[in-house]
């Protein structure tokens, strides 16, 4: 009887993915992917590595190219993962409608096959989309559906992401104590699950909460720790977000040149990788800094640019707030 031999490259790829060594994984798998000979799990791991390394544009093109080959009955589990990742790439790149369609499709496929893990992930992702659109109660409802599933499945890393998402929603509605408690839970679960990226995201979240509580020095120092962690992890999207918080914290301390430098770094990273939400939030936060520096014309330019992105993302509350700022200017 023929027994297939284990693929040493795939075994190494799995080990790198578990370790979160995404840049090393891209280097390992790129030659076969570029030659068009990747298939199955190897191809999915390569796409995930691209996304985790901040190259959502290339990941999305690769995912859309490979998706038809996974649509058959033999590859249903991989197909679900591909569709879910398409949603994640579209969300990062600012295509709200495509993200919603992909994540809704993921939930449908996962429900059909009783894939509880992916059901929880898709539900969590749809919650993040609802929060961005200002549907905060819907977002919390989605998260509260996902978290018990992840707890039953013993997924601390994904639980950390869920608690971080909930913290963002509580922060957005002004419940700062709840938000901070959820960020602390996120960090604890992330450390238990070896999810260093989510732990650093939690620190950035806590920095923003500190800023909203009026403690700009704590916000700055906490966000700078997150920057170092994200840089080491090779995560440009979340590194950019931490630079944004540093910029806002420096502005709150009337260190306008430091703030502008931090915002410029955030925008440079966001634009280089097509991360639309981070770009919009950085422009939004730079408006106040421009005003305090006497650069009212540049503040108006930033507000208009942020409005254009937020409109595409469906973030109508952000649009309304910025339109009011423009009217005040």
Torsional class of 115: left (φ above 0), alpha (ψ -120 to 50), beta (otherwise): beta
How many beta carbons lie within 10 A of that of residue 6, not counting itself?
8
Per-residue CA distances from 290 to 157, 162, 241, 287 (Å): 38, 34, 19, 5
Q: List, in order, residues 6 or more apart from 237 with CB less than 8 Å away.
A: 54, 92, 269, 270, 273, 275, 278
Q: Parse the chain into domains and list their residue ranges.
A: 9-67+78-96, 115-203, 246-329
Report the pLDDT value the prediction gives residue 228, as an integer from 0 to 100.
97
pLDDT, averaged per 10 consecutive residues of the chain (329 residues), comes to 58 87 91 82 92 93 89 84 95 95 96 95 96 96 94 92 97 97 97 93 98 98 98 95 98 96 98 96 96 93 97 95 90
**CATH topology for the 115-203 domain:** 1.25.40
The fold of 246-329 is 1.25.40
Residue 70's pLDDT is 84
* 116-132 helix and 136-153 helix, angle to the nearest 10 degrees: 160
How far apart are the C-alpha atoms of 63 and 131, rounded to whole Å?
26
| CATH 1.25.40.10, domain 9-67+78-96, yes or no | yes
Query: Considering the entire predicted model, what is its pTM?
Result: 0.92
Identical fold for domains 9-67+78-96 and 246-329, yes or no, is: yes
Q: Show the DSSP H helices in 113-135 as ranges.
A: 116-132
Token pair recorded at residue 248: 């806002």
Please tell me the distance from the alpha carbon of residue 47 to that of residue 31, in angstroms, as a whole number: 13
pLDDT at residue 6, as a whole number: 58
Q: Are 211 and 249 in contact (CB under 8 A)?
A: yes
What's residue 20's pLDDT? 82
pLDDT of the residue at 134: 94
């Amino acid at each position: 009887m023929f027994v297939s031999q284990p693929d040493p490259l795939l075994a190494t790829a799995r080990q790198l993915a578990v370790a979160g060594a995404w840049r090393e994984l891209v280097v390992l798998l790129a030659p076969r992917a570029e030659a068009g000979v990747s298939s199955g799990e190897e191809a999915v791991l390569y796409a995930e590595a691209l996304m985790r390394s901040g190259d959502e544009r290339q990941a999305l093109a690769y995912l859309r190219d490979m998706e038809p080959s996974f649509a058959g009955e033999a590859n249903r589990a991989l197909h679900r993962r591909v569709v879910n990742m398409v949603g994640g790439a579209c969300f990062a790149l600012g295509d709200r409608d495509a993200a919603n369609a992909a994540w809704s499709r993921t939930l449908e496929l996962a429900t059909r096959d009783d894939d509880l893990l992916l059901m929880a992930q898709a539900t969590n992702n749809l919650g993040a989309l609802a929060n961005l659109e200002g549907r905060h109660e819907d977002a919390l409802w989605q998260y509260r559906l996902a978290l018990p599933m992840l707890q039953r499945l013993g997924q601390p890393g994904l639980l950390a992401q869920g608690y971080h998402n909930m913290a963002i929603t509580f922060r957005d509605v002004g419940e700062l104590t709840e938000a901070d408690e959820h960020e602390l839970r996120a960090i604890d679960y992330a450390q238990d699950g070896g999810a260093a990226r989510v732990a650093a995201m939690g620190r950035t979240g806590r920095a923003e909460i500190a800023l909203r509580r009026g403690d700009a020095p704590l916000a700055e120092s906490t966000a700078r720790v997150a920057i170092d962690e994200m840089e080491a992890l090779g995560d440009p999207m979340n590194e950019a977000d931490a630079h944004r918080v540093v910029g806002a914290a420096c502005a709150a301390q009337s260190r306008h040149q430091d703030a502008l430098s931090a915002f410029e770094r955030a925008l440079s990273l966001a634009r280089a990788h097509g991360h639309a939400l981070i770009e919009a939030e950085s422009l939004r936060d730079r408006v106040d800094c421009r005003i305090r520096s006497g650069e009212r014309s540049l503040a108006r330019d930033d507000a208009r640019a942020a409005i254009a992105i937020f409109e595409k993302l469906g973030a109508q509350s952000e649009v309304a707030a910025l339109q009011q700022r423009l009217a005040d200017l």
